[in-house]
Chains A and B, each alone.
Chain A
Amino acid sequence: GAVVSQHPSWVICKSGTSVKIECRSLDFQATTMFWYRQFPKQSLMLMATSNEGSKATYEQGVEKDKFLINHASLTLSTLTVTSAHPEDSSFYICSARDDGEYNEQFFGPGTRLTVL
C-alpha cells in the first residue's frame, strides 16, 4: 500500500531556532502534498497545499514567512518552522496525493514539535 513517512517523528528545539520537517511518499509520486496542524485534543487544520515545482498555497491566517514549504521533487515536501516559539508547539501531519489512477490521499505518521 501507499506509504508516507515523516522525519523526524518528534523534535524539541529552543525558542528562536528553525526546524525542518520532511514528508516523503515512499512508493508513489505526489505532485501535491498537504500540511496539517493539530493542537492537543483538537482536530486537524489545513495549513497549506504544497505543489511540486511551484509555490505553496497557504490557508488564511497561516504565515507563509514563518512556515516555509518546499516541494522540490515528486516524493518530498518540507515544512520549515522559522524562528519557532512555544506557541508553534504542535503535531504536524502531512498527506500526499497519489498521482495515479485513484488520486487518493495518504497521511504521514506526524511530527511532534515542542518549542522550549
Chain B
Amino acid sequence: AQSVTQPDIHITVSEGASLELRCNYSYGATPYLFWYVQSPGQGLQLLLKYFSGDTLVQGIKGFEAEFKRSQSSFNLRKPSVHWSDAAEYFCAVGAVSGYALNFGKGTSLLVTP
C-alpha cells in the first residue's frame, strides 16, 4: 500500500532564507509524486509533480523538488522564501496518473520577517 510521510508538522523560516520540506513515500513501483499548497480555508494548488524522467522537477512560484529513489524521498525546496509562501504544504503519491491520491499529513510553513 502507498503511504506518504511528512516528518515536519511545522517549520518556521525567515523571509529570504532557503526552505526544504521533507517527504518520504512508500510504494512498490515508481510512484506519481505531487506537492500541493493550501492557504487557510482554500483548496489545493499544484506546485509540481513527478511522473518520470529528470529527477529534478521545477514548479510554480520558484519551487523545485528532487526525486531520490534510493531514499524514497521527494523533498520540496525553494532558495528564498517570501512571506506569501506561508501556508500548508502537502506531499501526495498516486499509483497511476489521474487516480486518487494518498496525502501526507502536511507541513505548516510560517515565515517570519
Contact = CB atoms under 8 A, between A and B. Distances in A.
Given A108-B43, A109-B42, A42 B105 contact: yes
A105 B98 contact: yes
A29 to B, nearest CB: 13
A39 to B, nearest CB: 11
A104 B104 CA distance: 19
A103 B106 contact: no
A83 to B, nearest CB: 26
Interface in B1-54: 36, 41-44, 46
**Chain B's interface: helix, strand, loop or mixed, by majority?**
loop
A105 B102 CA distance: 13
Contact of B100 (A46, A98, A104): A46
Contacts of B74: none
B100 A109 contact: no
A72 B43 CA distance: 24
